[in-house]
Amino acid sequence: MGLASMTSRQWLLAMAAACFAGEGLALVAQHVFDMQPCPWCILQRVIYLVIAALCIAGAMVTAPLARKAFAAGALLFALLGAASAVYQNVIAAKLYSCNLTLADKIIGALGLESLVPWLFQVTASCADAAVTVLGVPFEFWSLALFALLAGMAVRVLVRAA
Protein backbone atom coordinates (compact mmCIF):
# COMPACT_ATOMS: atom_id res chain seq x y z
CA MET A 1 0.00 0.00 0.00
CA GLY A 2 1.41 3.35 -1.04
CA LEU A 3 1.04 6.75 0.59
CA ALA A 4 -1.58 7.77 -1.96
CA SER A 5 -3.90 4.96 -0.90
CA MET A 6 -3.71 5.67 2.84
CA THR A 7 -7.00 6.62 4.46
CA SER A 8 -7.43 9.68 6.67
CA ARG A 9 -7.55 7.36 9.67
CA GLN A 10 -4.20 5.81 8.68
CA TRP A 11 -2.64 9.25 8.18
CA LEU A 12 -3.79 10.32 11.66
CA LEU A 13 -2.44 7.14 13.23
CA ALA A 14 0.86 7.64 11.40
CA MET A 15 1.00 11.19 12.78
CA ALA A 16 0.44 9.89 16.32
CA ALA A 17 3.17 7.29 15.80
CA ALA A 18 5.55 10.00 14.57
CA CYS A 19 4.82 12.06 17.70
CA PHE A 20 5.54 9.09 19.96
CA ALA A 21 8.73 8.36 18.02
CA GLY A 22 9.83 11.97 18.51
CA GLU A 23 9.09 11.70 22.23
CA GLY A 24 11.06 8.47 22.40
CA LEU A 25 14.06 10.01 20.68
CA ALA A 26 13.94 13.01 23.03
CA LEU A 27 13.92 10.69 26.03
CA VAL A 28 16.84 8.67 24.66
CA ALA A 29 18.75 11.92 24.05
CA GLN A 30 18.03 13.00 27.62
CA HIS A 31 18.41 9.80 29.60
CA VAL A 32 21.06 7.98 27.52
CA PHE A 33 23.10 10.81 25.99
CA ASP A 34 22.61 13.34 28.82
CA MET A 35 21.11 16.07 26.60
CA GLN A 36 19.14 17.89 29.29
CA PRO A 37 15.94 19.75 28.30
CA CYS A 38 15.11 23.41 28.77
CA PRO A 39 11.55 24.78 29.10
CA TRP A 40 11.23 25.16 25.32
CA CYS A 41 12.23 21.51 24.85
CA ILE A 42 9.64 20.43 27.39
CA LEU A 43 6.97 22.64 25.83
CA GLN A 44 7.61 20.90 22.50
CA ARG A 45 7.21 17.52 24.22
CA VAL A 46 3.82 18.65 25.50
CA ILE A 47 2.82 19.82 22.02
CA TYR A 48 3.80 16.46 20.51
CA LEU A 49 1.59 14.68 23.04
CA VAL A 50 -1.32 17.03 22.33
CA ILE A 51 -0.95 16.36 18.60
CA ALA A 52 -0.82 12.61 19.24
CA ALA A 53 -3.98 12.78 21.37
CA LEU A 54 -5.80 14.81 18.70
CA CYS A 55 -4.74 12.35 16.01
CA ILE A 56 -5.81 9.31 17.99
CA ALA A 57 -9.16 10.93 18.77
CA GLY A 58 -9.54 11.86 15.10
CA ALA A 59 -8.76 8.31 14.02
CA MET A 60 -11.44 6.98 16.36
CA VAL A 61 -14.30 9.11 14.99
CA THR A 62 -16.12 8.03 11.84
CA ALA A 63 -17.65 11.30 10.71
CA PRO A 64 -15.40 12.88 8.05
CA LEU A 65 -16.06 16.42 9.29
CA ALA A 66 -15.14 15.49 12.87
CA ARG A 67 -12.00 13.75 11.63
CA LYS A 68 -11.03 16.88 9.72
CA ALA A 69 -11.67 19.00 12.83
CA PHE A 70 -9.18 16.89 14.80
CA ALA A 71 -6.71 17.13 11.89
CA ALA A 72 -7.15 20.91 11.89
CA GLY A 73 -6.37 20.96 15.61
CA ALA A 74 -3.27 18.85 14.98
CA LEU A 75 -2.23 21.26 12.21
CA LEU A 76 -2.63 24.23 14.56
CA PHE A 77 -0.49 22.58 17.24
CA ALA A 78 2.11 21.51 14.65
CA LEU A 79 2.42 25.14 13.59
CA LEU A 80 2.68 26.24 17.24
CA GLY A 81 5.36 23.60 17.78
CA ALA A 82 7.27 24.80 14.72
CA ALA A 83 7.09 28.37 16.02
CA SER A 84 8.40 27.26 19.42
CA ALA A 85 11.32 25.41 17.79
CA VAL A 86 12.23 28.48 15.74
CA TYR A 87 11.94 30.73 18.80
CA GLN A 88 14.11 28.31 20.77
CA ASN A 89 16.85 28.51 18.14
CA VAL A 90 16.70 32.21 17.29
CA ILE A 91 16.12 33.70 20.74
CA ALA A 92 15.97 31.29 23.66
CA ALA A 93 19.20 29.42 22.88
CA LYS A 94 21.07 32.70 23.27
CA LEU A 95 19.60 33.40 26.71
CA TYR A 96 21.41 32.20 29.79
CA SER A 97 18.11 31.67 31.61
CA CYS A 98 14.68 30.58 30.38
CA ASN A 99 13.11 31.57 33.68
CA LEU A 100 9.79 33.31 33.26
CA THR A 101 9.71 32.88 29.49
CA LEU A 102 6.41 31.83 27.93
CA ALA A 103 7.49 28.18 27.84
CA ASP A 104 8.50 28.25 31.51
CA LYS A 105 5.16 29.81 32.46
CA ILE A 106 3.14 27.25 30.48
CA ILE A 107 5.08 24.29 31.88
CA GLY A 108 4.68 25.67 35.41
CA ALA A 109 0.96 26.30 34.96
CA LEU A 110 0.33 22.78 33.67
CA GLY A 111 2.08 21.26 36.70
CA LEU A 112 3.41 18.38 34.61
CA GLU A 113 6.93 18.65 36.00
CA SER A 114 5.82 17.33 39.38
CA LEU A 115 3.45 14.72 37.94
CA VAL A 116 5.83 13.08 35.47
CA PRO A 117 9.33 14.42 36.17
CA TRP A 118 11.19 11.89 33.99
CA LEU A 119 9.30 13.29 30.99
CA PHE A 120 8.57 16.92 31.82
CA GLN A 121 11.20 18.11 34.30
CA VAL A 122 13.24 21.08 33.11
CA THR A 123 16.90 20.33 33.86
CA ALA A 124 18.82 22.87 31.77
CA SER A 125 18.86 26.51 30.83
CA CYS A 126 18.19 27.45 27.23
CA ALA A 127 21.86 28.16 26.58
CA ASP A 128 22.93 24.83 28.12
CA ALA A 129 20.33 22.95 26.07
CA ALA A 130 21.62 24.38 22.78
CA VAL A 131 23.22 21.22 21.36
CA THR A 132 23.60 19.74 17.91
CA VAL A 133 23.03 16.27 16.52
CA LEU A 134 24.96 15.47 13.34
CA GLY A 135 25.84 19.16 13.15
CA VAL A 136 22.20 20.29 13.19
CA PRO A 137 20.72 22.12 16.21
CA PHE A 138 18.46 19.75 18.15
CA GLU A 139 15.51 22.14 17.86
CA PHE A 140 15.79 22.00 14.05
CA TRP A 141 15.19 18.27 14.21
CA SER A 142 12.07 19.09 16.19
CA LEU A 143 11.14 21.75 13.63
CA ALA A 144 11.48 19.17 10.84
CA LEU A 145 9.14 16.80 12.65
CA PHE A 146 6.59 19.57 13.26
CA ALA A 147 6.78 20.47 9.54
CA LEU A 148 6.23 16.82 8.60
CA LEU A 149 3.24 16.63 10.96
CA ALA A 150 1.80 19.83 9.49
CA GLY A 151 2.12 18.41 5.98
CA MET A 152 0.44 15.19 7.05
CA ALA A 153 -2.39 17.13 8.69
CA VAL A 154 -2.91 19.12 5.49
CA ARG A 155 -3.07 15.80 3.63
CA VAL A 156 -5.91 14.69 5.90
CA LEU A 157 -7.67 18.03 5.47
CA VAL A 158 -7.60 17.99 1.66
CA ARG A 159 -8.51 14.34 1.36
CA ALA A 160 -12.03 13.79 0.01
CA ALA A 161 -13.17 11.48 2.82
87-114 pLDDT, tens per residue? 988 887 777 667 678 888 899 899 988 9
pLDDT, residue 85, reads: 94
pLDDT, residue 84, reads: 95
Rg (CA), the chain: 16
Domains, the chain = 3-158 (1.20.1550.10)
Q: Of 120-124, 138-142, 150-154, give the lowest mean pLDDT range.
A: 120-124
Q: Which residues contact 133 (CB under 8 A, 6 or more apart)?
A: 29, 141
Full-model pTM: 0.93
